[in-house]
Structure 1
Amino acid sequence: MRTVTGLFDDYEAARDAVSDLEAAGVPSEDISIVANNSGNRYSNDGSDAAEGAGTGAGLGAAGGGVIGLLTGLGLMAIPGVGPVVAAGWLASTAAGAAAGAVAGGAAGGIIGALTDSGVDEEDAHVYAEGIRRGGTLVTARVDDSLALKAEAILQQRNRVDLSGRKSIYAQEGWSRFDENADPYTLDQVQRERERYRAMMP
């Protein structure tokens, strides 16, 4: 099994990537989506979306079946990111890690969930910061035979160039994701999205 991951500035592109991965034969239970939900933008996206935020709330509905992953979206909060809508194994792992960090002082949250799944730690920090700034992360565990196809799907749906995004963050003095940072407000998220749109060719 390999882990393939894509950060998206556009939530709809991330949703389409999830649907494409499912259509390519990646089981729903092996796909995760985590989207910044500042301003409660996506709370009604999915028939089982939970009401009320809180670490890990609503993640039990994340599930497979023919309906697919996106019907299992639930609300949760990630330290340093703020409110998100999420579904799938990565979201459940992040919620458990965050709860453990609160209870026992363990490092965890979204960074721990990503690195535990095989994502390079430096990349995990960029992904987490990308979610914090309004992005959507799609992560899938795939058989080696599907890895190239899954990577191509994420690329075709315009995932963020991670090294380019890391460079943009670094130019602003950023070095790593900070779980104690204030979450972005909806206005900050919107400004961030507009900035990236202006950079696109």
Structure 2
Amino acid sequence: MKTVSHSYDSYAQARAAVTAIEKAGIPSSDVSIVANRHVTAQYAEDDAASDTAAGAGIGGVVGGGAGLLAGIGLLAIPGLGPVVAAGWLAATAVGAAAGVATGGLMGALIGSGMEDEVAAVHAEAVRRGATLVTARVPDTEVGRVEGLMSVHRPIDSTERAASWREEGWTTFDPNAPAYRPTETEIQRMRREWRDQGMGKQA
């Protein structure tokens, strides 16, 4: 088995990637999603008054459908704090001991076979507002799953890490303050949410 992971700037992109993976026959038990709580809360806010979202918690609003997304909920991951997540990777990260130097998510990614530097970028991406999608797949399925995930425009980890390093970033810091999106980022995310029709599917 291999682990395929991609981070997405928008929750809508990540959700679409999860749906595509599951439709391709990858079991929900082998897929995981971890999203920044503040970002998904902004998506939920737009639909909070709609009939489909009435009375639903954040998990109900940003999840919906069947499979992995039906079980999404609020979790506390060491090094990140509250996130909206579901799946095996999230469970592993939550189970990591608080105070581990790499943080729960980074430690879980390394444990799944990811290189330290790549794991640090994914963990930092989630801290800064991204959504991470991870799938465990047979070696023969890696190319197909990579293709399905790439259709939804994941973050280029190498470019993103380079831009952060220009700002002084070195690696994921589990003690860094929680990231809160700017108003411009919030408006961008809301446009993507509406454009992709995600709010009406919850």
TM bin (shorter chain): 0.7 to 0.9
1:48, distance to aligned residue in structure 2 (A) = 10
Give the corresponding residue for 2:118.
Answer: 123
1:106-144 CA deviation, whole Å, 9 max, x = no partner?
754111100001111100000011001100000000011
1:145, distance to aligned residue in structure 2 (A) = 1.7
Normalising to structure 2: TM-score of the pair? Answer: 0.78
Give the corresponding residue for 1:44.
Answer: 58
Structure showing greater relative contact order (alpha-carbon pairs closer than 8 Å, 6 or more residues apart)? 2
Runs of 4+ residues over 4 Å off in structure 1: 105-108
Normalising to structure 1: TM-score of the pair? Answer: 0.78
Residues matched between the structures, number? 175
From 62, 81, 98, the equivalent of 1:101 is: 98
The answer to whether the 8 A contact 1:82-1:132 is kept is no
Q: Are 1:135 and 2:130 an aligned pair?
A: yes
Alignment of 1:37-76 (within 5 A): 37-38=37-38, 40-41=41-42, 42=44, 44-46=58-60, 67-76=66-75
Alignment of 1:12-51 (within 5 A): 12-38=12-38, 40-41=41-42, 42=44, 44-46=58-60
1:158-186 CA deviation, whole Å, 9 max, x = no partner?
01111011111111010100000100124
Q: Which runs of 5+ in 1 are unaligned?
A: 50-65
Q: Which runs of 5+ in 2 are unaligned?
A: 45-56, 193-202
CA RMSD of aligned residues (A): 2.7
Give the corresponding residue for 1:81.
Answer: 80
1:77-101 CA deviation, whole Å, 9 max, x = no partner?
234433210000000000000xx23
Alignment of 1:171-182 (within 5 A): 171-182=166-177
SS at match of 1:90: helix
State the one-letter code of the partner of 2:81: G
SS at match of 1:19: helix
